[in-house]
């Protein structure tokens, strides 16, 4: 087959039909999404649930934080008044915030470092055992904290 015949044959074949114009950035993106539609289909339920139960409630909470709302009346926009009251005038919030900051910055990390240092210097222990022990300690402390908070509530009869 000569070069002339090959070029004539290539001219007669129709170009591949594409759903999207891949020369443009949006078209290329849509083309890639279409090529990997099974992957996007498998991850879609997670994103739907994440949007419904995380993103939308977060957006609604941010909206309501800028309003005065008591369920009986329609929300009334008050701008930054809620935040000014919270950070300037509310003594209970400032006390709770300082306690939370103390536990988050000092008590938690210091406690973990003390436990890990004890495990590293314990005779016969390896670093693998230390990592596994730290994971177990974290899960147990979390469960114990939940149990204590349940016990602190009075039982209703």
Q: Give the whole-angstrom CA distance, residue 138 versus residue 132.
A: 10
Q: Give the whole-angstrom CA distance, residue 99 versus residue 108.
A: 12
In this prediction, residue 111 carries a pLDDT of 77
Tens of pLDDT, residue by residue over 78-105, are 999 999 998 888 889 988 988 888 888 8
Backbone angles phi, psi at 78, to 5 degrees: -120, 10
In this prediction, residue 155 carries a pLDDT of 45
**Strands 76-77 and 67-68, sheet pairing:** antiparallel
109 — pLDDT class (breaks 50, 70, 90):
confident
Tens of pLDDT, residue by residue over 130-150, are 677 777 766 655 554 554 455
In this prediction, residue 81 carries a pLDDT of 92
Helices 127-152 and 108-120 sit at what angle, rounded to 10 degrees? 140
**Stated pTM of the model:** 0.51
């Amino acid at each position: 087959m000569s070069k002339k015949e090959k070029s004539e044959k290539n001219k007669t074949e129709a170009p591949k039909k594409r759903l999207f114009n891949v020369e443009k950035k949006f078209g290329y993106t849509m083309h890639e999404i279409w090529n990997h539609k099974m992957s996007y289909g498998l991850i879609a339920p997670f994103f739907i649930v994440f949007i419904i139960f995380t993103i939308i409630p977060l957006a609604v909470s941010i909206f309501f934080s800028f309003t005065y709302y008591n369920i009986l009346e329609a929300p009334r926009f008050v701008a930054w008044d809620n935040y000014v009251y919270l950070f300037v005038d509310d003594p209970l919030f400032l006390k709770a915030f300082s306690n939370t900051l103390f536990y988050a910055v000092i008590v938690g990390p210091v406690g973990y470092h003390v436990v890990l240092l004890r495990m590293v210097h314990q005779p016969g222990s390896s670093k693998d055992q230390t990592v596994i022990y730290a994971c177990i300690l974290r899960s147990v402390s979390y469960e114990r904290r939940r149990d204590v908070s349940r016990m602190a509530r009075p039982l209703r009869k």
